[in-house]
Structures are given as structure tokens and as C-alpha cells.
Amino acid sequence: MREMSLTAERCELRVPFHITGRVFTGTDVLLVRLTENGATGRGEASGVYYFDENGASMLEQAESVRQAVEDGIDREALRGLLPSGGARNAIDCALWDLEAKLSGKSIWQLTGIEPGETHTFQTVGLESPEKMAEWAKSIPGGLIKVKLDGSGPLERIAAVCNARPDATVIVDCNQGWTFEQLAELAPAFHELGVAMIEQPLPRGGDEALEGYVPPLPVCADESCVDTSEFEQAARRYQMINIKLDKTGGLTEALDLASRARERGIGLMVGNMLGTSLAMAPAYVVAQLCRFTDLDGPIYLERDCDHALTYSDGLLSAPTPALWG
């Protein structure tokens, strides 16, 4: 008999974090524990904030499928019961972990993916150019992700690039630009050595990207939630940022990654904040990606037990005690 335990918790950030139109002070997470034959599988999700997901809404969704989950539903059937989002993510990842524990196989054996050395970007939040330059100087390793909006983006990115000429820099606009801004700024960003621009235009307002040939890759985040949106995204973007909270779990994420790789679309894996328990399944997807952005736990006041380690940008693989 399988039993499901659900808990909604609050993870506080060490300092407020600014992006386009929003300031984060923490994140609500849903924790799922599935127990069967003496083994326990776990999953964690933060949900999708721009779809108004929170701890209470994820908890309600997960409760709605309790009977099916406890009756033994598998991951594929789960995709038909819940929409993509945080609740399905947490349950899906708990099912993967449970299968690993029951079978005595690692997540690498279950997926057929080989783990390798993985370096993660660390994020510079939206502040004044001077503060962002100082922030960039403090980041160990050579991978920096920069949050920008429509106010002074060139001044800000120039300050970061000049402060860290040794680093690979990518930019996340969180839907904060117009197409005219993108067309004007992209050549200058390319000249500064920026490697990629993520989600410059609003979700649902990026039609102008069809036929546009940018001087550097443009990556879909909010504009590609799951496999149902892949075909449209593939016409408009050169890369896709996969986040398990968006896809509704590792199962859908691996499907999306497979489709993108078949079409020659570049991949990034990202996160919606959360503890190392949320990063662990995303680490699997990271093995298929050009860019990895799994720095969420760095900004939390407290991480979970058996946490991932971050050393000069190098991210450790999850241990079985954590997940998978």
C-alpha cells in the first residue's frame, strides 16, 4: 500500500531578490513524500509564480489526486490527471525517487543518462549598475546570469561585463523588453560578449520573433512551459529554458528535452527557487543542457539535509540520501 504525505512550507531568502516587476523575499514549497514497502520517495516544488501558484494551491491540487496516487498511479498516468505545474512536479519527482528506492537502482540507471561535471550559473539581481558590478565580482567561478528589465539595460550589462571580463554572461529579461528594444540592444550585447538573452518579450506577445535572426541566441522561458508549447517556441527561439515547476516534473522535462535536441534547439535548465531537493531532479536534465542555472539554494536562509554543494560554480551530483 502506498501512502502520500503533503506539506506546504515557506523558504525564506537571505536578502530580497529583484527581477522585472517583482521582488522575492521567499518562496512557498510543496513537499511530497510517498511511502511504499518501507521505502520513501520525495519531491519538492515551488510552482509557477506568474500563474499564481502558491503553497495552498499546489497542496489543493495534490490532494485532488491523492486516491489515484495511493492506488499506485504511475508517472505517465499522472500527466493525464494533473496539468503541468508545481503539484504535478512534486508528485512526479517523488515517484522517480520512490522507484529508485524500491528497485535499488540510481536515477542514472533509470534514465540512462550519464552524470558529468556540472557548473551552474549564479544570478546577479536587478540593482543599480554599480551594485550589480560589485555583485558580479563576488560570484565565484566564471558563469554569471544577470537580471535586467527595460530600464538602463545596456548600462547595467556593460557594468557587469566590465567587472567580470573572465566570465560567461547570460541575461534574463523576465518579459521586460519590447521587440524594438531587443532589436536595438542585441547587437550591443553581442559585442560585449553576452552569450544569450532569455525571455526578452512577454509570454503571448513574442510573435515578432518569427523570422527574426538575432546576433546571439534568444531563449524561451515563460514562452515555453511544456511540450504543448514546444512547436511554437521552436519557431521563435534558438534555446529553451526547462524548469521542472513549469513542465510538471522530470518526466515531462525529459520529453521536452528530447524534442528540442532532435530539432537542434539549445537547452538550459533553470529553477524557481527551492532547496536542494528541488534541484536534484533538475540536475538530471542539466546533463542534456548547454547552460545550467540551479543556484536557488544559495539564496535561501536554510537548505535541506544532504544538500548539494556549490564550490566555485561547480555543482555536486545528488546523493541517494537526498534524492534518486
| Positions marked active-site | 147, 243
What are the cell numbers at 155? 548600462
Strands (E), the chain: 3-19, 22-36, 39-45, 118-119, 122-124, 143-147, 168-172, 196-198, 218-220, 239-242, 266-269, 291-292, 310-311, 314-315
Check the CA dihedral 7-13-18-23 and report its sign.
positive
d(CA 245, CA 221): 12
**Cell of residue 5, nine digits:** 504525505
Residue 72 sits at φ, ψ, to 5 deg, of 110, 20
Three-state DSSP class for 208?
A: helix
Taking residue 236's Cβ as centre, other Cβ atoms within 10 Å add up to 18
CA distance 267 to 272: 17
Distance from C-alpha of 82 to C-alpha of 176, rounded to nearest angstrom: 30
Taking alpha carbons only, the member of 131, 219, 208, 140 closest to residue 174 is 219
State the Cα–Cα distance between residues 116 and 100, nearest whole angstrom: 19
- CA pair distance 58, 45, nearest whole angstrom: 9
Q: What's the rounded Cα separation, in Å, for the pair 267 and 264?
A: 9
Q: Tell me the one-letter amino acid at 270.
A: G
Diameter of the chain measured on Cα atoms: 60
